Amino acid sequence: MSVLVKICGLKTPESVEAALAGGADMVGFVFFDKSPRYIDLAVARKLSAQVGGQAEKVALVVDADDARIAAIIDALAPDWLQLHGNEPPERVASLRAFGRPILKAIGVSEKADLSRAVAYEGVVDRLLFDAKPPKGAVLPGGNGLTFDWTLIHDYAAGGAKKEWMLSGGLSTENIGEAILLTGAPGVDVSSGVETAPGEKSVEKILAFIAAARQPTSLGLAGGSV
């Protein structure tokens, strides 16, 4: 089974084109102004038109209010809302009124963090397990950090009740191991395809997608996870 691939934090026509040319399933755009990957609404409109229907568009927000989300939806016309802040389940449930599927990020550093996922299973369409940022970090994600992937393996083996994806420090060099250990049905990358924070590499985007999709590179030739 092919792994779902999301390339996040795109800012330029060149990076969007690379993600589309490589066959990414989802392309993510960041609307958190403290991030080096932030784009404004005018840029969002242009990149949205470029994507068209070639991939699903994801709007990443961090504890945004309704007015901000409405403006983002108007500009980007996203297929998904990605919530990467401290949004409680009640807030997530209220955002379903916008009529977009919701992807909720859960920061993970220890097994206890996975218990948070249970509270969201009834109000989201998909979960995103990301490395929990260190104390004092400005960014809730995109920090290039990994976490103990065996924690996710245990979660999935226990009968995950919701679709999910893996994120956090993924790159062309480790994506095979990550998928092999977790059985992740989908993966999300941002800093792992950059040359500097917020600066995407066309070559790295293409290489990451190819590595995630190539069974032999995962040691899974002839099979699936």
- Which residue is catalytic, options 33, 130, 148, 188? 130
How far apart CA 6 and CA 114 sit, in angstroms, is: 22
Indicate whether 48 belongs to any domain: yes
Place of tokens 């809302």: 81
Give the chain's domain count: 1
Encode pLDDT of 153-195 as tens digits: 767 766 666 899 999 999 999 999 999 888 899 999 999 999 9
Indicate whether 206 belongs to any domain: yes
pTM: predicted TM-score of the whole model, two decimal places = 0.89
How far apart CA 220 and CA 35 sit, in angstroms, is: 36
Paired strand residues for 81: 59, 102
pLDDT reported for residue 144? 61
pLDDT reported for residue 55? 98
Token pair listed for 116: 């948070």
Active-site residue, 8 included: yes
What CATH number corresponds to the domain at position 24?
Answer: 3.20.20.70
Indicate whether 223 belongs to any domain: no
Indicate whether 137 belongs to any domain: yes
Token pair listed for 9: 């934090």
What are phi and psi for residue 107, nearest 5 degrees? -75, 135
* CB-count exposure of residue 76 (10 Å: 0-12, 13-18, 19+): buried
Indicate whether 224 belongs to any domain: no
Encode pLDDT of 50-70 as tens digits: 999 999 999 999 999 999 999
Cβ–Cβ under 8 Å, residues 188 and 28: yes
Indicate whether 225 belongs to any domain: no
Taking the chain, what is the end-to-end CA distance rounded to the nearest angstrom? 8
How far apart CA 219 and CA 130 sit, in angstroms, is: 24
Cβ–Cβ under 8 Å, residues 223 and 211: no
Encode pLDDT of 106-127 as tens digits: 999 888 888 888 899 999 999 9
Active-site residue, 130 included: yes
Structural domain including 84 reads 4-218
Indicate whether 138 belongs to any domain: yes
CA 9 to chain centre: 9
Sign of CA dihedral 65, 129, 186, 207: positive
